[in-house]
Amino acid sequence: MNDTKFYTTTGDDGTTGLLGEGRVKKYHPRPEAYGDVDEAQAALGLARSVMADEDAADILLAVQRDLYQLMAELAATKEVAHRFRKIDAQRVTWLEKHTDAYGERLNLPPEFIVSGDSHPGALLDLARTIVRRAERRTVKLYDDGHIENRELIRYLNRLSSLCFVLARHEDALSGQSKVTLAKE
């Protein structure tokens, strides 16, 4: 029998601990940001579970692991953030490489696309919107001086592009002959 407790009760006062010294309210911008990143990684897992392209799914698994590293840095105080710094320019370049490779396979109209042409594509679009929210919150942390690593912002920005490209790729794999446009 497992004796592990799955709760600590330390957050019952409405605060959460940081990596390093201190606690903040659960609605503080820091837990808002890493909570959005956590939501994004979960949404990516949902998309990954139904994707047709296994290679693309493997890329998303690597991204999910990166997002855990990103969350750790967002949760770390300035004094210890360097210990959790794993997201750097090389990881951003890695995302760009995959985005470009999948993007070259697509022929898209220069118009807004409505989500929903395939199940995995719709889930990737949902993940993309969550990533964009996480990016906005991370920018706020950066602008307010809570974090110093600008690569976190760049990573999330590139990730939203990867999600868009993979969504359109999955739509194409589903046999969709044309994309649904915002204009009729």
Contact in structure between 81 and 127 (CB atoms under 8 Å): no
Which of residues 34 and 7 earns the better pLDDT score? 34
pTM above 0.85, yes or no: yes
Contact in structure between 162 and 106 (CB atoms under 8 Å): no
The pLDDT tens digits for 132-180 are: 999 999 999 999 999 999 999 999 999 999 999 999 999 999 987 778 9
Q: Which two tokens stand for residue 102?
A: 């999948």
Domain ranges of the chain: 25-101+112-173
Largest CA distance in the chain: 59
pLDDT of residue 3: 84
pLDDT of residue 108: 85
Over residues 13-35, the mean pLDDT reads 96
Tell me the DSSP string of the chain.
Answer: -----S--SGGGGSEEE-BSS-EEETTSHHHHHHHHHHHHHHHHHHHHTT-S-HHHHHHHHHHHHHHHHHHHHHHB-TTTGGGG----HHHHHHHHHHHHHHHTT----SS-B-S-SSHHHHHHHHHHHHHHHHHHHHHHHHHTTS---THHHHHHHHHHHHHHHHHHHHHHHTT-SSPPBS--
How far is it, in rounded angstroms, from Cα 56 to Cα 159? Answer: 13
In terms of CATH, what superfamily is 25-101+112-173? Answer: Cobalamin adenosyltransferase-like (1.20.1200.10)
Mean pLDDT, the chain, as a whole number? 95
The pLDDT tens digits for 141-152 are: 999 999 999 999
